[in-house]
Structure 1
Amino acid sequence: MTHQLSRRHFLAALGASGLGAATPALAGAPTASLRPVARGEDLRLRSIASAEELIAAAKLSGAVGFTVLDAATGTVIDSHAATLGLPPASVAKAITASYALATLGPDHRFNTDLLATGDVVEGVLKGDLILLGGGDPTLDTDGMAELVLILKAAGVARVEGRFLVCGGTLPYTPTIDPGQPEHVGYSPAVSGLALNYNRVHFEWHKGGNGYQVSMDAPSPTLRPAVRMASMGVITRDVPLYTYHDGGARDEWTVARGALGNSGARWLPVRKPDRYAGEVFQVLAGGKGVSVPAPEMVATCPPGTLLARKQSAPLADVLRDMLKWSTNLTAEMVGLAATRARLGEAQSMRHSAAEMSAWARSEFGLEQVALVDHSGLGEDSRITSQDMAKLLLRQQVGLKALLKPVPLRDSTSKVFKDASQAVHAKTGTLNFVSGLAGYVDLDGGEELVFAFFSGDLDRRAKLSKAQRERPEGGKAWNTRAKMLQQALIERWAVLAEA
């Protein structure tokens, strides 16, 4: 039997979590309406709270909009402010996945190539070596090491010419969202060449003479040092980190008092082509292949293919993107799709606008206007009605890529006997929360839903420094997630009644 969430159950859950309690007006209220029951009416409908009651009980500041459809017929089962446009946050990645699949196909693979402008004579490349990025967002240090081994197997021991690095396959953007704190790893630079999701690893240890710091590009088996990123430990209280474009280097500083004895974190890379080129040069040297210092070029000259590293099929790349919500992957696959459709992608915003136009044309959406492909930008807007409509049309290709979302009780423990299986994409920004996907019910019914909420006034008052951990943000997000679950329970009863 479906687990039902009554009005009293939901209010009790709020109280148990420390996030709220029933108001005096509701504290002694009956758990069901006292209205007469019409002939043939399902008695279960009396035991569940209305959507408005659940929203009020959640005490979630800001706005809420949702739409729920019967997957078989497209009939609206429940809705609230369905035409209200709100930021989708990372739910936008589900749109990007649909766009990329429709444009590139599930079997598409991204290439990272090594090209040569001359012949290999007795171990010497008589010309330039070119590292050409083909838009692979998943390339890591181990993958770069594979390219080095293929180059060595081709008989190259030394490059006589230049070492050129080209990421111009996709347009360069210094950060996904300029409104984010400069040091957060989820808003790195974007180009056609990426390494380790364009993040550099900063590690520190306190010793007798102060702090020892390192900047490198680690993998499970390798740890090449990086010269293009530097870190200075500075005696100050705030800010925690500062960034300066040093031309050839990303120059960082960190507040000494925030470090403790030891630790590590990933920082965003703002010069991805230089980063990838330096790591390749270090790895090549470690295998006895002499490669000169990298030189960045916007346009790749013609050359002969020496080595190629391919990504996994696009469907697998997208499944991981949706599971881990990797912003860089979303931006790169979205840009690659626009480039394939139009022959070029002028910028991230241009590409997002093209994706929005595609969604309007393909699915008849009315209010979708995205500024990026990841949902990180707060100016993106979509309605729950439009998001549900897209999911309804894309359920065959998209549902299998979405991760399971477990239902939890008031203590955050997963319901072991939950009779609804939810496959969805979550989305979270400061004071913005979304969830959209599919619900399978015990009786065989399937629902398509989209939920968006946001306190945009409260978000707008945050400074850039406050955006990593804003006061009250965690509690607000917890309320939003509890409301999402309460509504899913309500929709299950409505669908089965």
Structure 2
Amino acid sequence: AMTRLAEREPPRGPRRRRRGIGPLVVLGMFAVVPALALYALFVWSSSKIDDNVAAPPPPTTLVAPPLPDEPLANSMLTFRRMPALVSRGLNVEQFVADTAPFLATINDRSCATVSVDGNPVGAVNGGLAVIPASTQKIIVAAVALELLGDDHVFTTRVVVDDAPVDGVVQGDLVLLGGGDPLLSSDWYPASGLERRPVFDPTSLDSLADRVQAAGITQITGAVLGDGSRYDDEFFAPGWGNGVAGLEAGPYDALMANDARVLGEDQRGDNSNSAAAREFTRLLRDRGVVVDGEPGVGSAAAFAGEPSEVASIDSVPLTGVVAEMLTNSDNNTAELLVKEIGLEASGGEEGTRQAGLAAMAEQLAAWGVDTKDIVLADGSGLSLDNRLTCDALVAVLQRSGPTDTIGAALPVAAETGTLSDAFVDSAVAGRLLGKTGTLNNPPFNQDPPAVKALAGYLPVDGGGAVEFALVLNGPTISDQSEYRPVWSALADTLDTYPSGASPADVGLR
């Protein structure tokens, strides 16, 4: 069949090659068409120009072009950053699961709250108002720093009625307290009278040296202690038996050596008179003749404006807060509350009540739910205090482990009230926490005992876990009860980061 078809087709001659438009012609057309369009535009625009109108004059003031924005040092999103962001999310998810079993062990009278860099991880009874013990000092520290400022100092002054003549003070010399909780004679920190010696003290010896350096050789009256900056409430109400005068107080705007005097077996019953006795001793040791015996007085009783002989400042507030939190210094906490009250009232009320009201107001301003919170003192010794774990963590979230509060907290197995805790734990030297302890016998009756811990566990690469654990129970302050719970908390916190690392999720 193929043969037959082929046979039927007429014979074909050689084909003539068709000539199309060559490539050079096409290129030429592409070049000519735009040129013609531009020429037409030129002709049209030329017809619009009025040759009889003068050109506008050049500007007389040269305006420099705006400078380009400074380029970012690093891109906001890079392949290096993305793995860290992704891994952080994975870690938190896993941490939520790791934390749940521990939280399930907390009794219904206690609370615990955990977050990472402000992001909630888990809580049990987080909003339950419990007795916080000394974790209350975290609130005092935060509000004091907020209202008074990091650089706030406490000034103790020595004043007289009339300027000395030939080194002689006619009448009394007043030691005027400025609320300094760290005012100390040089012997006091090394005395062993306190479980945790004061550090960064304000030297009462140095103040006596300055009086001597001012040329004072005799005081015809007496040294009087003046604590009128604050009210005369020396102990906070609501403290348990055996607390007042032992764990805290008496305190006032003038307090030296926590109301102790060298050579006296017991604390004084009035911090103002005790400071006057101690300062009289220091002056006499320096050869200053003091005719009268020390007591309590006021510079306001002077006939005229007091004349200052000498003064001395405390370390800045950041140092005062560090001493309070590291040592859990009860007197420091109570004096800070009164200074907060004085500041908040415009200098009118150096009282515990005014300070506590200002603290509650500041917590509310920070967005903390204060509905069930009760602030009864600064030290946390009062059985009337009520705080929530959520509130403690909310305050901790406002700063971090390297900020003033975090850096002031005791370090696990190393410093302050945590020096003997977590010694064999993986968090030793890392966990930063404020402790709280109250023993309230009889143990079979309310209020319950308290054992608390709140603070930070810094995370490698930055950030931290924020946590609060406040245990209330009949005998919870016994080591056999709380130590296993603390150990379980430490083990749980140490699981973070527990998910993928940036290397695991990064580009390969």
Q: Structure 1 residues 425, 50: closer, same or farther in 2, change over 3 A? A: closer
Match of 1:404 in 2: 411
CA displacement at 1:394 relative to structure 2: 3.0
- With 436-445 and 95-104 compared, the bigger mean Cα shift is at 436-445
Contact 1:353 1:369 survives alignment (8 Å): no
CA displacement at 1:303 relative to structure 2: 0.7
CA displacement at 1:269 relative to structure 2: 3.6
CA displacement at 1:183 relative to structure 2: 7.0
Q: Structure 1 residues 128, 268: closer, same or farther in 2, change over 3 A? A: closer
CA displacement at 1:62 relative to structure 2: 6.3
Matched, 1:70 2:116: yes
- Distance, in Å, in 1 between the alignment partners of 2:478 and 2:490 is 19
TM-score normalised by L of structure 2: 0.66
Code of the residue aligned with 1:197 in structure 2: it is D
Matched, 1:152 2:152: no
Matched, 1:164 2:224: yes
Q: Structure 1 residues 441, 349: closer, same or farther in 2, change over 3 A? A: same
Contact 1:445 1:495 survives alignment (8 Å): no
Code of the residue aligned with 1:163 in structure 2: it is V
From 127, 133, 141, the equivalent of 2:185 is 141
From 195, 206, 214, the equivalent of 2:256 is 195
CA displacement at 1:157 relative to structure 2: 1.1
Map 1:167-178 to 2 at 5 A: 167-176=227-236, 178=239
Match of 2:392 in 1: 387
TM-score normalised by L of structure 1: 0.67
Q: Structure 1 residues 148, 474: closer, same or farther in 2, change over 3 A? A: same
Matched, 1:79 2:117: no
Code of the residue aligned with 2:399 in structure 1: it is Q
Contact 1:68 1:491 survives alignment (8 Å): no
Matched, 1:438 2:442: no
CA displacement at 1:287 relative to structure 2: 1.5
Code of the residue aligned with 1:297 in structure 2: it is G
Q: Structure 1 residues 269, 494: closer, same or farther in 2, change over 3 A? A: farther
From 352, 355, 360, the equivalent of 2:359 is 355
From 363, 368, 389, the equivalent of 1:364 is 368
Matched residue SS, 1:185: coil
Encode CA deviations 1:173-223: one digit per residue, 9 max, x unaligned: 23345424057632221210111123x3xxxxxxxxxxxxxxxx3xxxxxx
Q: Structure 1 residues 491, 427: closer, same or farther in 2, change over 3 A? A: farther
Match of 1:276 in 2: 275
Contact 1:66 1:81 survives alignment (8 Å): yes
Match of 1:344 in 2: 348
Matched, 1:296 2:299: no
CA displacement at 1:344 relative to structure 2: 3.2
Match of 1:240 in 2: none
Matched residue SS, 2:334: helix
From 328, 332, 349, the equivalent of 2:331 is 328
Matched, 1:118 2:174: no
Map 1:452-491 to 2 at 5 A: 452-455=470-473, 458=474, 473-489=478-494
Match of 1:246 in 2: none
Match of 2:469 in 1: 451
Contact 2:410 2:434 survives alignment (8 Å): yes
- Distance, in Å, in 1 between the alignment partners of 2:463 and 2:206 is 47
Match of 2:7 in 1: none
From 224, 242, 247, the equivalent of 1:181 is 242
Q: Structure 1 residues 90, 62: closer, same or farther in 2, change over 3 A? A: same
- With 310-319 and 297-306 compared, the bigger mean Cα shift is at 297-306
Matched residue SS, 1:308: strand
Q: Structure 1 residues 418, 286: closer, same or farther in 2, change over 3 A? A: closer
Match of 1:260 in 2: none
CA displacement at 1:355 relative to structure 2: 1.1
Code of the residue aligned with 1:324 in structure 2: it is N
What is the RMSD of the two structures over their aligned residues, measured on CA atoms?
A: 3.3
- With 428-437 and 340-349 compared, the bigger mean Cα shift is at 340-349
Q: Structure 1 residues 52, 345: closer, same or farther in 2, change over 3 A? A: farther
More contact order relative to length (CA 8 Å, sep ≥ 6): 1
Q: How many residues align?
A: 375
Code of the residue aligned with 2:112 in structure 1: it is F
CA displacement at 1:322 relative to structure 2: 0.9
Match of 1:92 in 2: 136
Contact 2:158 2:173 survives alignment (8 Å): yes
Code of the residue aligned with 2:279 in structure 1: it is F
Q: Structure 1 residues 277, 494: closer, same or farther in 2, change over 3 A? A: farther
Higher strand fraction: Structure 1 or Structure 2?
Answer: 1
Encode CA deviations 1:357-381: one digit per residue, 9 max, x unaligned: 2212233333432111111112111
Match of 2:192 in 1: none
Any gaps of 5 or more consecutive residues in structure 2? 1-89, 187-202, 440-448
Contact 2:450 2:477 survives alignment (8 Å): no
Matched residue SS, 1:365: coil
Contact 1:352 1:370 survives alignment (8 Å): yes
Matched residue SS, 1:82: coil
Any gaps of 5 or more consecutive residues in structure 1? 1-40, 201-216, 218-223, 231-266, 460-470
Matched residue SS, 2:209: helix
- With 124-133 and 439-448 compared, the bigger mean Cα shift is at 439-448
Contact 2:412 2:423 survives alignment (8 Å): no
CA displacement at 1:490 relative to structure 2: 5.0
Q: Structure 1 residues 286, 419: closer, same or farther in 2, change over 3 A? A: closer
- Distance, in Å, in 2 between the alignment partners of 1:381 and 1:182 is 19
Contact 1:365 1:389 survives alignment (8 Å): no
- With 103-112 and 363-372 compared, the bigger mean Cα shift is at 363-372
From 423, 426, 444, the equivalent of 2:432 is 423
- Distance, in Å, in 1 between the alignment partners of 2:500 and 2:224 is 60
- Distance, in Å, in 1 between the alignment partners of 2:174 and 2:129 is 46
Contact 2:360 2:370 survives alignment (8 Å): no
Contact 2:258 2:331 survives alignment (8 Å): yes
CA displacement at 1:486 relative to structure 2: 3.6
From 225, 245, 248, the equivalent of 2:263 is 225
Encode CA deviations 1:66-91: one digit per residue, 9 max, x unaligned: 111221xx321111111111122111
- Distance, in Å, in 2 between the alignment partners of 1:358 and 1:473 is 34
Matched residue SS, 1:393: coil
Q: Structure 1 residues 305, 126: closer, same or farther in 2, change over 3 A? A: same
Encode CA deviations 1:271-303: one digit per residue, 9 max, x unaligned: 111111111112211221122212312563441
Q: Considering only CA atoms, is the larger Rg found in Structure 1 or Structure 2?
A: 2
Encode CA deviations 1:307-351: one digit per residue, 9 max, x unaligned: 112111111111121111101111112211220121233532442
Contact 2:431 2:456 survives alignment (8 Å): yes
Code of the residue aligned with 1:476 in structure 2: it is E
Code of the residue aligned with 1:195 in structure 2: it is A
